[in-house]
Amino acid sequence: MALDFNTGRFSDYKLSISDSRLDKIQNAVSEKDATHMGIFDKLKDMILGTHKAEALTALYELTHNPKDTLDTSSAISKMKSFTTLKNSLSDTYKANLSARI
């Protein structure tokens, strides 16, 4: 299921992260690979204020554990990433996103 995000400056513009992009993030071996954006995407993100780069980073941080460990600091980091991601989502998806601790 693709994710639709709020846009910063232009409410008519819809930012969506596709299923294939979500799979790429989940299977990435590094944050750089997971969050890579082409020049056109970077320009759109900057001009439209969509915060796609931040959403991609939050998704990566939620799906990967640093050095295969989960300690207090990484748990707090994941909670911050979750909050960033949830605040970025459009209202349609916010209600569907929840966390369990």
Residue 97 or residue 31, greater confidence:
31
Please determine, for residue 36, whether its predicted confidence score (pLDDT) is greater than 60. yes
Please determine, for residue 101, whether its predicted confidence score (pLDDT) is greater than 70. no
Please determine, for residue 84, whether its predicted confidence score (pLDDT) is greater than 90. no
Domain annotation covers residue 71: yes
The DSSP symbol for 14 reads -
Between CA 87 and CA 84 the distance in angstroms is 5
Domain annotation covers residue 65: yes
Domain count, the chain: 1
Q: Please tell me the least confidently modeled range out of 7-11, 25-29, 35-39.
A: 7-11
Domain annotation covers residue 99: no
Between CA 59 and CA 90 the distance in angstroms is 15
- 51 in the Ramachandran plot: left (φ > 0), alpha (ψ -120 to 50) or beta? left
Domain annotation covers residue 100: no
Give the H/E segment covering residue 25.
Answer: helix 19-27
Q: Give the mean pLDDT of the chain.
A: 79
**pLDDT tens digits for range 44-73:** 888 877 778 888 888 898 888 766 666 777
Residue 52 structural domain = 3-94
